[in-house]
Amino acid sequence: MLSLEFLQFADKLRRNPCDNPRRIGYAALRQIQENRILSEDCGCPNMAQTMTHIGGIKAEWLTPPGAPKEKAVIYVHGGGWSLGGIRQTRLFLAPMVQQFQIATLHFDYRLMPENPFPAGLDDCFSLYQGLLKEGWQAENLVLAGESAGANLALALLLRLKEAQLSLPAAVTLMSPITFMDTMEGSHRELADLDLILAEDSFILCDVARLYAPGWDKRHPWLSPLYGDLEGLPPMQLFAGTDELLFDDTIRFYHKSRLAGNQVELIIGDHMLHSWPIFMRDFPEAESAVRTMAAFIRSHLLHDGQDQESRYEDRLVKAALEEIEQNYAQANLSKLAAIYNQTLYGYSKLIKKQTGYNFKELLKNKRLSIVERQLITTEKSIKNIALEAGYENMTHFYELFSEKYGKTPQKYRADFRVKQNFAKSDNKTSK
């Protein structure tokens, strides 16, 4: 079930569609972004901001309190290779970094059409090389990005691999552009659903011609899908079902898995392009960022578990969060498919980690809701049970008595006796 906040956000986008750079020009669109910064930038409270230059590239560190030393996220911003920069990215990146609790470096790179490919990629490469020269260890870095920035991140991986430089510990990407040679599949079929990259404002092949004039659009640094993907670091990919770049993520995911890589795929039902960056706007995005933060921290903060165990922990945590947020919609088959697990294997994993099977987890969640309502409200027991989804009252009484050792009436009565005793005891002590 979609949140009210998301529905309102989507409706706002429908009524006020994204500006078209081909209609008003890149300079005008950049000015609109600049005006937005002036109206929305509230700084980064409770976080250190440090401007710097690394490898000759202007960058900024966002460092939350208590962030571990010598661990970092490198974030590559999106914007169709033509928009964005440090000030724009900070607006959405700062709250994400609060979730990561890891120092994060983001930076300016040269933009097209003034600076066509490979200028932006050269800047990404220079920054990464600069970090290594400063003494940073690749195993202490995670690479992240969205959209065109995710495309640059993948191109950077392939270029680092070709240069035989150390690759980062892991990569987490939102809605990456992975091929530029065709406009088939979701590029056309989902264009009408895409609230960010509407077909009339973002024709990928048109942008690709401006971005890389004269280049073969199947070159791996432009279309990472066609590169040699063997030996890439563990990866996390986010894709929304209602974005025209959906196939970019799915095709890359499958090819990377076939190359033997560990890849985690998170599909957001009805979600839009790069939806986690909107964590201030709706809870689905905030939940996705929490998942991203868990992935980043599991690869940077070694807690004695092996990588497979940490990966399993994240899968079970996702199931528990799904139950916590909306137990009525929690679906084991759907979760297993999203995390590329067999239904049997995912069920066994949950049982191993929690001691319960999935149905038991749902049952306990429902009963805990009932228990909370019994002691905090004056609602009738029947209404509480019906609101929690119990239609068979006899079955409900049996389940409740089995879990709590007494009937709902007895449980409520005993709690009130204890509560009254505690109140009278407090009065006596005063």
| Residue 120 C-beta-side C-alpha neighbours within 13 Å | 31
Rounded CA-CA distance 18/198 in Å is: 8
253-263 b/e (C-beta count within 10 Å ≥ 16 → b): bebbeeeebeb
Q: Does 333 qualify as catalytic in the annotation? A: no
Catalytic residue among 82, 147, 256, 298: 147
Catalytic residue among 243, 264, 284, 286: 243
- DSSP per residue over 159-184, as a string? HHHHTTPPPPSEEEEES-----S---
Q: Does 3 qualify as catalytic in the annotation? A: no
Rounded CA-CA distance 81/273 in Å is: 16
Q: Does 395 qualify as catalytic in the annotation? A: no
Phi-psi region of 84 (alpha: psi -120 to 50; beta: other; left: phi over 0): left
280-316 b/e (C-beta count within 10 Å ≥ 16 → b): ebbebbbbbbbbbbbbbbbbbeeeeeeeeebbbbbbb
| Identity of residue 312 | E
Catalytic residue among 273, 274, 312, 322: 273
* In 69-169, beta strands by DSSP E: 72-76, 104-107, 141-146
Q: Provide the annotated active-site residues.
A: 147, 243, 273
